């Protein structure tokens, strides 16, 4: 793979301050991309920006809550102003609280749907309008989840938000195709981010993690870099005929029963 795969191109990544988003921006930067990082966590966002800037990368950070129409509009305007035409967007910001259905407050439901589903709608709308104005085309990748297909207790809001994101991806792909903008989703399974591995360390978490692992045909959790590799492909010209797809990167987690 060439080091300059994305040189001269600018990408906007939400949820860039942590986990999969953070690894993704590091990999895009290694391939020469100019980056605009967006996150609601201002401290981690600044730490991520600083770490990339110290290695000589072209990087801007804009704090914004993806569920706020005003903040998203301001963030998108600033992103195009500082980085020029943005050729790719990754909607990676997401939250995943776990609460049994019968105890779930409506406020928590709203928070999850607003972040994981309304957020990608708002950010994509603001960015796609500017891509169309620039006549640049583009590639948009939504980070979905195996939970969009696989039911498990405590994630009614999360599962619904990610299932909705899959269909939002399909409709956006249809509407934006005439403008040369491709839209795809990547659905990770169990990924060993710091947050997931920390949650797996307690006794309850350990049992849950082991149950999930036992269902994975490839027998292990994935790494953030394995998710990012697929995102890089979808952002690249090599994926020029891919739009509207939901691509699993889950070691076979969602296939069914791995063994008897
Ligand atoms: P993470 O918590 O490490 O990172 C998510 C980032 O999004 C954080 O930096 C957070 O501050 C930011 N964020 C949250 N709400 C925001 C908002 N309203 N506006 C802007 N930024 C916001 O999570 P992760 O595990 O890296 O997950 C990243 C994405 O991948 C999420 O969409 C998640 O649903 C999805 N995913 C993760 C896994 C996994 O196993 N880690 C599996 C499937 C899907």
Paired residues of 38 in beta bridges: 14, 62
260 catalytic residue (yes or no): no
pLDDT at 31: 96
Half-sphere exposure of 238 (CA within 13 A, CB side): 10
The stretches of 57-138 forming alpha helices (DSSP H) are 69-83, 106-113, 119-134
Atom of ligand 1 nearest to the CA of 22: 26
Distance from Cα 15 to the centre of ligand 1, integer Å: 6
Indicate the top mutation candidate among 13, 14, 15 to test ligand 1's pocket, ranked by most ligand atoms within 8 A of CB.
15
Distance from Cα 223 to the centre of ligand 1, integer Å: 14
The one-character DSSP state at 219 is S
Digit-by-digit pLDDT tens for the chain (260 residues) are 445 899 999 999 999 999 999 999 999 999 999 999 999 999 999 999 999 999 999 999 999 999 999 999 999 999 999 999 999 999 999 999 999 999 999 999 999 999 999 999 999 999 999 999 999 999 999 999 999 999 999 999 999 999 999 999 999 999 999 999 999 999 999 999 998 999 899 878 899 899 999 999 999 999 999 999 999 999 999 999 999 999 999 999 999 888 88
pLDDT at 1: 46
**61, 21 Cβ separation under 8 angstroms:** no
Residues 166 and 175: their CA atoms lie apart, in Å, by 15
Three-class DSSP category at 121: helix
CB-ligand 1 contact for 87 (6 Å cutoff) = no
pLDDT at 152: 93
CB-ligand 1 contact for 158 (6 Å cutoff) = no
Atom of ligand 1 nearest to the CA of 41: 11
Residues 234 and 240: their CA atoms lie apart, in Å, by 8
DSSP letters, 14-45, are: ESTTSHHHHHHHHHHHHTT-EEEEEES-HHHH
Element spanning 225, H or E = helix 224-235
Distance from Cα 17 to the centre of ligand 1, integer Å: 9
CA–CA distances in Å: residue 78 to residues 62, 70, 133, 139, 209: 8, 12, 15, 19, 40
Residues 177 and 185: their CA atoms lie apart, in Å, by 15
Question: Of 96, 158, 241, 247, which one is the catalytic site residue?
Answer: 158
Atom of ligand 1 nearest to the CA of 96: 34
């Amino acid at each position: 793979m060439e080091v300059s795969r994305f040189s001269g191109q600018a990408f906007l990544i939400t949820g860039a301050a942590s986990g999969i988003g953070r690894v993704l921006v590091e990999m895009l930067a290694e391939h020469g991309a100019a980056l605009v990082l967006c996150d609601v966590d201002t401290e981690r966002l600044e730490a991520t920006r600083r770490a990339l800037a110290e290695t000589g990368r072209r990087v801007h950070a804009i704090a914004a809550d993806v569920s706020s129409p005003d903040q998203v509009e301001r963030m998108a305007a600033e992103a195009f102003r500082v980085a020029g035409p943005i050729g790719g967007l990754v909607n990676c910001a997401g939250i995943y609280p776990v609460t049994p259905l019968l105890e779930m407050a409506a406020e928590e439901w709203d928070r999850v749907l607003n972040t994981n589903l309304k957020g990608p709608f708002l950010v994509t709308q603001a960015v796609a309008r500017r891509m169309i104005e620039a006549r640049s085309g583009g590639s948009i990748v939504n980070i979905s989840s195996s939970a969009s297909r696989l039911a498990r207790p405590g994630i009614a809001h999360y599962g619904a938000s990610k299932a909705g994101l899959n269909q939002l991806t399909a409709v956006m792909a249809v509407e934006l195709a005439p403008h040369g903008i491709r839209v795809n989703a990547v659905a990770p399974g169990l990924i060993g981010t710091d947050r997931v591995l920390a949650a797996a360390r307690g006794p309850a978490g350990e049992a849950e993690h082991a149950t999930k692992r036992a269902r994975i045909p490839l027998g292990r959790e994935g790494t953030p870099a394995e998710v990012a590799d697929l995102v890089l492909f979808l952002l690249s010209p090599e994926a020029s005929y891919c739009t509207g797809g939901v691509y699993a990167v889950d070691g076979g987690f969602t296939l069914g029963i791995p063994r008897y």
